[in-house]
Amino acid sequence: MPSLNSIRELEHMRERLQEQRQNITTTVMVCGGTGCQASGSQAVISAIRDELSRQKVGPSVRLCVTGCHGFCEQGPVIIIEPGNIFYCSVSPEDAFEIVSQTLVQGEIIERLLYTDPVSGKKIQTELEIPFYQAQDRQLLSKNLLVDPCSIEDYIVTGGYSALTNVLNGMAPEEVINEVKSSGLRGRGGGGFPTGRKWSECREAPGDEKYVICNADEGDPGAYMDRCVLEGNPHLVLEGMMIGAWSIGAQKGYVYVRNEYPLAVKHSRIAVEQARELGLLGENILGSSFSFDVDIARGGGAFVCGESTALMDSLEGKIGEPKPKDVHTVVNGLYHKPTTLNNVETWANVPSIILNGSAWFASKGTRGSTGTKILALTGKIKNTGLVEVAMGTPIRKIVYDVGGGALNGKQIKAVQTGGPSGGCLPVDKFDLAVDFEELSEAGSMVGSGGMVVMDEESCMVDVAKYFLTFLQDESCGKCVPCRLGIDRMLEIITDITEGRGRPEQLDLLEELADTVSQTALCGLGKTAPNPVLSTLRYFRVEYEAHIKEKKCPAGVCKALITYSIDPNQCNGCGVCARACAYGAISGKKKQVYVIDSQLCQKCGICRSECKFNAIQVA
């Protein structure tokens, strides 16, 4: 590919590519994201490719392997344009039918359509699916249009036009003011105004400056950064270029965790392609702007998502947070002014430049503008990546997008913001996904994890789970975080194992408060949130564990016993066969009994029993 030396050459290339693609009538978009690959999309892709050549379908049909569509639960997912036909859970055997019926004859295959779990109806198009209908997909919808390994795809769909707009006569201050007035705030968790960060970095003394894209996403169950970076790496690169140009940086890094092989691969390919086209390197598109990006892989430490630790890690040192009395926008990577933003933040920049700050600010609330991708998981009907406008109430996300509780159970709480976020009870579901509103309620937007819990989740156990995670991932540098989390976990373990004492609750609260006020970095400061929020909203559960030595949700093994209800048991013996410990005995057609001495409380009998005869108390 020849290198592009001016903005006009880029526009020519775009026009030429658009002409070439005019005779494509049908596009088959198969999701090649990590989620769908796990459910076998690679085999589906090669099966469809084979079928296309075997049935001699001409060049009018194009197969596009895209990034994540968001509905990972239903993967592998295929969308066929025109018609917006949505097929889910496709297997390689379906390839013949998809090609011969849908692509050639234009018929819909009923069997592969999505069934709405609420109404039970088959839904033909993607846009009609309730999961997608309630969303406002600005970033995720771009994933559908491009093959992440192809810069042509990105350019055809208008890519790098924000960069040309900027290079074509916008002053750096103008760009920064545009970002400022858009109200864009850091999507990685902190919610710091991006425009302010940029202008502080621009004003910081020094010629050598850096921009960093933080793709070291590690929250359990959250994967929005992965999805954006692996699904549309050029969008992130374009955002970084615009940022680098406006603050005056010459070098950028994408710090991506090594556990995201596809994101590493795609971002590397994207950087190489951009370099080849002259979109990275010296004098980009004939302007005076020179900028290059390198991909750095993280070594698997959660704490390296913290900005100062990430910069230490980039420098080749141990990734440990440093005190931020002098901000990284003044003294960051290699002691130079550095702007670090999250993947999603960078990805929002090109559309702000293209559509204007007013367009961006029109979405969301006054303090929190734009859209936010959330990773919706837990005990609800639809799980996956969800992009909604900021300010959308939690209730709408859980019930409209998520489809409500599974198996007719009652939803009890939602945990927002990853391990450092908090648990909000059902009566707080009218709160909006908004930086201020959630932190006032003791939780946070965070990076956007959203785990829904139902009546079978024990909130003490949830707090214990997140503390265990944070204890493993704390760097151990400062005392409140290292010893504080350790002691909190010790107390909570005591409570879940029936050794809890009432006075421990006050100690737990005091300790959590101390850690949140005195820890060195953001990880430590937010680490007590799971404890503080569950203590605030679910204190009754803690008290039940301590005073009555009972786990109301039937989760904490030390506090529960399994028994068989003689009125429900019909003596089928399924439970006895399922029990790995031989703890259930009895005769056919008679009531079975559980030997509490042998029972390991694994719960297999309960899930096997079809008559709800196994009781937990």
Partner 1 sequence: MLQYVNVNIDGANIRTPRGTSVLDTAIENGICIPHLCHVSYLSDIGACRLCIVEHVINGRSNITTSCTLNVEEGMVILTNTERVQKLRRNIAELLVAQAPNSRAIQDMAVRCGVKEVRYPFRNDDCVLCGRCVRVCTEVWKAQAIGFVGRGKDRHVDYPFGIRPDFCKLCGSCVQLCPMTITPCDGPMKPGEERLCGKCEAQLIISEPTPGSCVWCKLGEGFGCGRYA
Binding site for partner 1 (CB under 8 A): 301, 303, 318, 322-323, 325, 471-480, 482-484, 486-487, 490, 507, 510-511, 514, 517-520
Q: Is 487 or 606 the residue whose CB approaches partner 1 more closely?
A: 487
Peptide bond connecting 193 to the previous residue in cis, omega within 30 degrees of 0: no
The pair of three-digit structure tokens given for residue 86, joined into one six-digit string: 């949505």
Q: At 474, phi and psi to the nearest 5? A: -65, 140
CB-based burial label for 20 (10 Å; 0-12, 13-18, 19+): exposed
Q: Is 207 or 472 the residue whose CB approaches partner 1 more closely?
A: 472
**431-302-482 Cα angle (round to 5):** 90
The type of residue at 571 is: G
Task: State the nearest-atom distance from the C-beta of 489 to partner 1, in Å.
Answer: 10
Q: Is 76 or 332 the residue whose CB approaches partner 1 more closely?
A: 332
Q: Is 337 or 480 the residue whose CB approaches partner 1 more closely?
A: 480
- Distance between CA 506 and CA 161 in Å, rounded? 57
- Residue 125 pairs in a beta bridge with 85
Task: State the nearest-atom distance from the C-beta of 261 to partner 1, in Å.
Answer: 23
CB-based burial label for 144 (10 Å; 0-12, 13-18, 19+): buried
Q: What is the three-state SS of 130-172?
A: HHHHCCCCCCHHHHHHCCCCCHHHHHHCCCCHHHHHHHCCCCH
Q: Is 115 or 258 the residue whose CB approaches partner 1 more closely?
A: 258
Task: State the nearest-atom distance from the C-beta of 341 to partner 1, in Å.
Answer: 24
299 conformational bin, left if phi > 0, alpha if psi -120 to 50, beta if neither: alpha
Task: State the nearest-atom distance from the C-beta of 523 to partner 1, in Å.
Answer: 10
The HSE-up count of residue 498 (CA atoms within 13 Å, CB side) is 10
Task: State the nearest-atom distance from the C-beta of 135 to partner 1, in Å.
Answer: 37
Q: For strand 338-342 and strand 210-215, is the pairing parallel, antiparallel, or unpaired?
A: parallel
Q: What is the three-state SS of 20-83?
A: HHHHCCEEEEEECCHHHHHCCHHHHHHHHHHHHHHCCCCCCEEEEEECCCCCHHHCCCEEEECC
Task: State the nearest-atom distance from the C-beta of 330 to partner 1, in Å.
Answer: 13
Task: State the nearest-atom distance from the C-beta of 305 to partner 1, in Å.
Answer: 14
Q: Is 532 or 579 the residue whose CB approaches partner 1 more closely?
A: 532
Q: Is 231 or 480 the residue whose CB approaches partner 1 more closely?
A: 480
Task: State the nearest-atom distance from the C-beta of 503 to partner 1, in Å.
Answer: 8
Can you point out the beta strands (E) in 163-290? 210-215, 251-257
Q: Is 395 or 525 the residue whose CB approaches partner 1 more closely?
A: 525
The type of residue at 105 is: Q
Task: State the nearest-atom distance from the C-beta of 192 to partner 1, in Å.
Answer: 15
Q: Is 116 or 497 the residue whose CB approaches partner 1 more closely?
A: 497
Identify the H or E element spanning 452: strand 449-454
CB-based burial label for 111 (10 Å; 0-12, 13-18, 19+): exposed
Q: Is 268 or 477 the residue whose CB approaches partner 1 more closely?
A: 477
Task: State the nearest-atom distance from the C-beta of 442 to partner 1, in Å.
Answer: 19
Peptide bond connecting 261 to the previous residue in cis, omega within 30 degrees of 0: no
- Distance between CA 501 and CA 496 in Å, rounded? 11
Q: Is 203 or 486 the residue whose CB approaches partner 1 more closely?
A: 486
Eight-state DSSP code of residue 204: S
Task: State the nearest-atom distance from the C-beta of 418 to partner 1, in Å.
Answer: 17
Peptide bond connecting 82 to the previous residue in cis, omega within 30 degrees of 0: yes
Task: State the nearest-atom distance from the C-beta of 474 to partner 1, in Å.
Answer: 4
Q: Is 394 or 475 the residue whose CB approaches partner 1 more closely?
A: 475
| Cα maximum dimension of the chain | 86
Task: State the nearest-atom distance from the C-beta of 509 to partner 1, in Å.
Answer: 11
Q: How far apart are the first and last CA of the chain?
A: 69
Eight-state DSSP code of residue 193: B
Q: Is 4 or 467 the residue whose CB approaches partner 1 more closely?
A: 467
Q: Is 172 or 498 the residue whose CB approaches partner 1 more closely?
A: 498
Best CA proximity match to 511, nearest among 497, 527, 495, 522: 527
- Distance between CA 88 and CA 109 in Å, rounded? 11
Give every CB contact of residue 22 below 8 A, 6+ residues apart in sequence: none
- Distance between CA 393 and CA 413 in Å, rounded? 14
**300-251-291 Cα angle (round to 5):** 130
Task: State the nearest-atom distance from the C-beta of 486 to partner 1, in Å.
Answer: 6
